[in-house]
């Protein structure tokens, strides 16, 4: 095995290629994306046209007033009539553009939801897909609860950033039209009014590193709260039994305070930016008044022109502010990508936006049949090492397994028994050594050691909220007989008859509705239902009583004589049955051989067998 242990790829924020990633994401549903851009462009650009019509209305009214007053005596009624008719025509233009916008919105909003939620779904599918299916060992960098916030908040952030791009075209058209119209009235005023808007954009850009760090702190504080809640309710019975609910709640309150402080900073800054953006319009209007006073008195500007500014400015400020916000959103999206990448660790960056079918209509495809594999003959482990951060772990373990053997790994607490199994199966990254299966070196342990080659039952196996049957089969279309056998070998027959709904029993979250022993047996049945050659048990017997355990080993040896078992145990029932025992001590293989030999020559073995403390 050559693959280096998986170290998280250090990717500094500036390296996150947000643009290419987003481009790839949009390309997932290109037509839908373009449709959105078109619809929303129309939606955002139309106000420029109805502002124009409003200004025409007031221009005509203004003409009338000035004309009426100036030539009170000579103004013919027809001129007055023409101006009023022109004003009414502008009113019609105004009405038509407004109604058109209403119609566009109807379609735009539907298209947008489809796009947004589809991209959300794609990101989540890719995150989970990589964690489930990728090569190499997968360890979550944080608690599952915190990982869930990657799936929820960060995914939302990224998909919502799409909104920025969908809206961009419309805002751009609006800005260009608006600035052109204003320019025609007076270039100086237009420049004076637009300059501060550009300043806002620059201001936001200056603030964006700050925004990011506030946002990150806020997210971390939030994650600590959700983590704590997850752990509290994951251990709810322990918390209740210890009568420490009050202290847990007090701790939650402390975490909440920290989060509040972080959130307020985030809110303050975000609101500051928003406030500057929106209130900038009033200042701009003030500027138009100030500068326009002179022009209007000299007759170079009329009421209609004023109204044009007033009507266009709010949305123009909005658009400019939007471009400023776009920069901030872009940075935040970078943070979200970064955090998702931290979850995926060694995945190539584009993985999170890779294109996969989502089956959102509910028509799921058939499960692909498992690839076959040649029957197991031998397994050779040479110098396998895997060291935890604590410095403990497994150091250069070597051993052999051949078909049909029953091999027990034993040793004291912390001697590396579980680490040995987990490193072999690729559940932990290993720092050295090689694994040879049927004479061929295995390059990726994690994707290699799966059914039909091997199956594994953890020390604390996890079941999932579903029926017992679903849990055991895990999608295997095991015929009734195979399922029957798996349950029989796992000594589950009696449990099944006691459970009111039998195989259809909902096991509850993490199997909480079953007893500890039932969870273990269900997990063993689940492993056996996979029809694997090599069965790896990590101390499953600990929740089983002696009789149950005896039945398990006996059943395996009589019904599955060809199955190879690698078992962590310190129970005599297992040790007595072992073809070979591997004794671990402080991460090293201290000795291996048959029980009789080991008892004769290995002090560690004798200590374990007798339950006596080894001297020292």
Partner 1 sequence: MSAPAAPLPSSTPALKVLGTYLLPMWPRVLLLAALLIGSTLLTLTLPLLIARFVDTSTAALTAGGEGLGALGTLTRLSLMYIGVALIVQLLSAGATYLGAVVGWSATNRLRTDLTAHLLGLDMKYHKERTPGEMIERIDGDVTALSNFFSQFAVRVFGAALLLTGSVVMFFRENAWLGAGVLAFVALTLLGMNRVRRRGIEPTRLEREGSAKLFGFIEERLSGLDDVRSLGGGAYTLRKFLGVQGSFFRQLMTAGVERTAVWQFSMLMFTFGYVGVIGAAVGLYAAGTITVGTALLLYQYMSMVEEPIDQLTQQLQDVQKAGASLLRVGEILSLTSQLPSGTRLLPAGALSLDFDDVSFAYEGEDDPSARVLSQLTFQLAAGRTLGLLGRTGSGKSTLTRLVSRLYDPTSGALRLGGVSTLEADLTSLRSRVAVVTQDVQLFQASVRDNLTFFDPGISDERVRSALTEVGLLDWAEELPEGLGTSLPAGSLSAGEAQLLAFARVMLRDPGLIILDEPSSRLDPATEARLTAAMNRLLSGRSAIVIAHRLDTVARADDILVLGAGRVLEYGAREALAADTGSHYSRLLRAGQLGGSDEGEIDALEDDIREVLA
Q: Within 438-467, which residues bind partner 1 (CB under 8 A)?
A: 446, 449-451, 454-456, 458-465
**Cβ 177 to partner 1, closest distance in Å?**
19
Q: Does 109 bind partner 1 (CB under 8 A)?
A: yes
Name which of 439 and 596 has its Cβ closer to partner 1: 596
């063993």: which residue's tokens? 524
- What single-letter DSSP state applies at residue 414? T
Name which of 17 and 163 has its Cβ closer to partner 1: 163
**Cβ 455 to partner 1, closest distance in Å?**
6
**Cβ 15 to partner 1, closest distance in Å?**
26
Q: Within 166-185, which residues bind partner 1 (CB under 8 A)?
A: none
Segment lying near partner 1 (by CB under 8 A), choices 186-194, 257-265, 326-334, 429-437: 257-265
Q: Does 474 bind partner 1 (CB under 8 A)?
A: yes
Q: Is the backbone of residue 438 left (phi > 0), alpha (psi -120 to 50) or beta?
A: left
- Binding-site member from 113, 180, 198, 375 for partner 1 (CB under 8 A): 113
Name which of 129 and 404 has its Cβ closer to partner 1: 129
Q: Does 512 bind partner 1 (CB under 8 A)?
A: yes
Within 10 A of 600 (CB to CB), how many other CB atoms are there? 11
Q: Within 216-235, which residues bind partner 1 (CB under 8 A)?
A: 222, 225-235
**Cβ 444 to partner 1, closest distance in Å?**
12
- Please name which of 450, 419, 444 lies closest in space to residue 2, comparing C-alpha atoms: 444
Rounded to an integer, what distance in angstroms lies between the CA atom of residue 1 and that of residue 424? 11
- Binding-site member from 20, 238, 375, 502 for partner 1 (CB under 8 A): 238
Q: Within 398-427, which residues bind partner 1 (CB under 8 A)?
A: 410-414, 418, 422, 425, 427
- Please name which of 446, 490, 491, 457 lies closest in space to residue 568, comparing C-alpha atoms: 457
Tokens of 602: 């290995």
Q: Within 281-340, which residues bind partner 1 (CB under 8 A)?
A: 282-283, 285-287, 289-290, 293-294, 296-299, 303, 306-307, 310, 314
Q: Does 39 bind partner 1 (CB under 8 A)?
A: no
Pairing of strands 378-387, 580-585: unpaired
216 to 90, 208, 333: CA distances (angstroms): 51, 12, 11
**Cβ 57 to partner 1, closest distance in Å?**
6
Q: Within 352-381, which residues bind partner 1 (CB under 8 A)?
A: 358-362, 364-365, 367-368, 370
- Binding-site member from 29, 98, 216, 403 for partner 1 (CB under 8 A): 98
Q: Do residues 277 and 200 touch, judged by C-beta distance below 8 A?
A: yes
- Binding-site member from 39, 48, 57, 381 for partner 1 (CB under 8 A): 57
**Cβ 204 to partner 1, closest distance in Å?**
15
Rounded to an integer, what distance in angstroms lies between the CA atom of residue 394 and that of residue 421? 10
Name which of 176 and 264 has its Cβ closer to partner 1: 264
Rounded to an integer, what distance in angstroms lies between the CA atom of residue 147 and that of residue 140? 7
Q: Do residues 308 and 181 touch, judged by C-beta distance below 8 A?
A: yes
Tokens of 395: 């150091």
Which residues partner with 589 through β-bridges? Answer: 584
Q: Within 62-81, which residues bind partner 1 (CB under 8 A)?
A: 62, 64-66, 69-70
Rounded to an integer, what distance in angstroms lies between the CA atom of residue 12 and that of residue 537? 41
Rounded to an integer, what distance in angstroms lies between the CA atom of residue 30 and that of residue 36? 10
Please provide the distance, in angstroms rounded to a whole number, between the alpha carbons at the two ends of the chain: 37
- Binding-site member from 241, 480, 481, 562 for partner 1 (CB under 8 A): 241
Q: Do residues 403 and 535 touch, judged by C-beta distance below 8 A?
A: no
Q: Does 430 bind partner 1 (CB under 8 A)?
A: no
Within 10 A of 431 (CB to CB), how many other CB atoms are there? 15
Radius of gyration over alpha carbons of the chain, in Å?
35
Q: Does 118 bind partner 1 (CB under 8 A)?
A: yes
**Cβ 329 to partner 1, closest distance in Å?**
18
**Cβ 5 to partner 1, closest distance in Å?**
16
**Cβ 173 to partner 1, closest distance in Å?**
20
Helix axes 77-133, 18-26, angle to 10 degrees: 100
Q: Do residues 488 and 529 touch, judged by C-beta distance below 8 A?
A: no
Segment lying near partner 1 (by CB under 8 A), choices 95-103, 157-165, 319-327, 332-340: 95-103
Q: Within 524-553, which residues bind partner 1 (CB under 8 A)?
A: 526-527, 530, 536, 539, 542-548, 550
- Binding-site member from 573, 578, 581, 582 for partner 1 (CB under 8 A): 573
- What single-letter DSSP state applies at residue 313? H
CA dihedral over 428, 433, 436, 442, signed as positive or negative: positive
Letter string b/e over residues 117-136, b meaning 16 or more CB atoms within 10 A of that residue's CB = ebbbebbbbbbebbeeebeb
Rounded to an integer, what distance in angstroms lies between the CA atom of residue 38 and that of residue 165? 11
Name which of 79 and 330 has its Cβ closer to partner 1: 79
**Cβ 216 to partner 1, closest distance in Å?**
18
- Please name which of 476, 121, 335 lies closest in space to residue 129, comparing C-alpha atoms: 121
**Cβ 453 to partner 1, closest distance in Å?**
9
Segment lying near partner 1 (by CB under 8 A), choices 8-16, 106-114, 173-181, 431-439: 106-114
- Binding-site member from 198, 202, 236, 375 for partner 1 (CB under 8 A): 236
């Amino acid at each position: 095995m050559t693959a280096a242990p998986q170290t998280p790829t250090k990717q500094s924020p500036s390296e996150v290629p947000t643009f290419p990633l987003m481009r790839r994401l949009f390309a997932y549903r290109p037509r839908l994306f373009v449709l959105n851009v078109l619809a929303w462009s129309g939606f955002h650009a139309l106000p420029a046209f109805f502002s124009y019509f409003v200004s025409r209305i007031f221009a005509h009214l203004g003409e009338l007033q000035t004309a009426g007053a100036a030539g009170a005596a000579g103004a013919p009624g027809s001129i007055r009539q023409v101006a009023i008719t022109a004003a009414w025509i502008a009113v019609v233009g105004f009405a038509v553009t407004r109604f058109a916008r209403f119609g566009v919105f109807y379609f735009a909003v539907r298209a947008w939801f489809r796009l947004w939620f589809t991209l959300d779904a794609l990101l989540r599918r890719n995150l989970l897909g990589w964690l489930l299916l990728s090569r190499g060992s997968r360890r979550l960098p944080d608690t599952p609860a915190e990982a869930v916030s990657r799936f929820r908040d960060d995914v939302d952030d990224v998909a919502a950033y799409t909104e920025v791009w969908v809206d961009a075209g419309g805002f751009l058209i609006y800005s260009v039209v608006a600035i052109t119209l204003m320019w025609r009235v007076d270039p100086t005023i237009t420049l004076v009014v637009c300059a501060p808007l550009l300043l806002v954009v620059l201001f936001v850009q200056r603030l964006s590193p700050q925004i990011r760090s506030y946002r990150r702190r806020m997210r971390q504080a939030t994650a600590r709260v959700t983590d704590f809640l997850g752990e509290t309710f994951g251990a709810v019975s322990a918390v209740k039994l210890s009568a420490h609910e009050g202290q847990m709640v007090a701790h939650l309150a402390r975490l909440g305070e920290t989060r509040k402080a972080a959130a307020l900073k985030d809110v303050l800054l975000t609101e500051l930016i928003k406030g500057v953006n929106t209130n900038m319009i009033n200042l701009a209007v003030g500027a138009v008044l100030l500068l326009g006073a002179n022009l209007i008195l000299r007759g170079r500007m009329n009421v209609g022109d004023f109204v044009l500014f007033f009507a266009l400015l709010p949305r123009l400020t909005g658009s400019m502010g939007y471009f400023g916000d776009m920069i901030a959103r872009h940075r935040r999206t970078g943070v979200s990508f970064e955090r998702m990448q931290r979850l995926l660790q060694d995945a190539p960056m584009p993985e999170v936006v890779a294109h996969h079918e989502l089956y959102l209509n509910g028509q799921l495809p058939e499960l692909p049949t498992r690839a076959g594999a040649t029957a197991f003959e031998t397994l050779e482990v040479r110098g396998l090492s895997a060291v935890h951060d604590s410095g403990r772990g497994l150091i250069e373990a070597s051993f052999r397994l051949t078909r049909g053997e029953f091999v027990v790994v034993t040793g004291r607490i912390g001697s590396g028994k579980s680490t040995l199994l987990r490193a072999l199966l690729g559940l932990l990254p290993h720092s050295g050594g090689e694994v040879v299966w049927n004479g061929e070196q295995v390059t990726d342990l994690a994707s290699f050691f799966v059914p039909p080659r091997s199956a594994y039952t953890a020390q604390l196996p996890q079941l999932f909220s579903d029926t017992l049957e679903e849990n055991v089969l895990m999608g295997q279309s095991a015929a009734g007989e195979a399922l029957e056998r798996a349950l029989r070998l796992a000594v589950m027959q009696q449990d099944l008859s006691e459970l009111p709904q039998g195989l259809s029993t909902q096991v509850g979250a993490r199997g909480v509705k079953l007893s500890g022993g039932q969870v273990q047996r269900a997990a063993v049945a689940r492993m056996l239902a996979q029809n694997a050659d090599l069965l790896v048990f990590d101390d499953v017997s600990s929740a089983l009583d002696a009789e149950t355990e005896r039945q398990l080993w006996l059943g395996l040896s009589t019904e599955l004589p060809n199955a190879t078992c690698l078992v962590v145990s310190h129970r005599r029932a297992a040790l007595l049955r072992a073809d070979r025992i591997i004794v671990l001590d402080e991460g090293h293989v201290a000795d291996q051989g048959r029980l009789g030999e080991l008892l004769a020559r290995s002090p560690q073995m004798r200590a374990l067998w007798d339950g006596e403390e080894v001297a020292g």
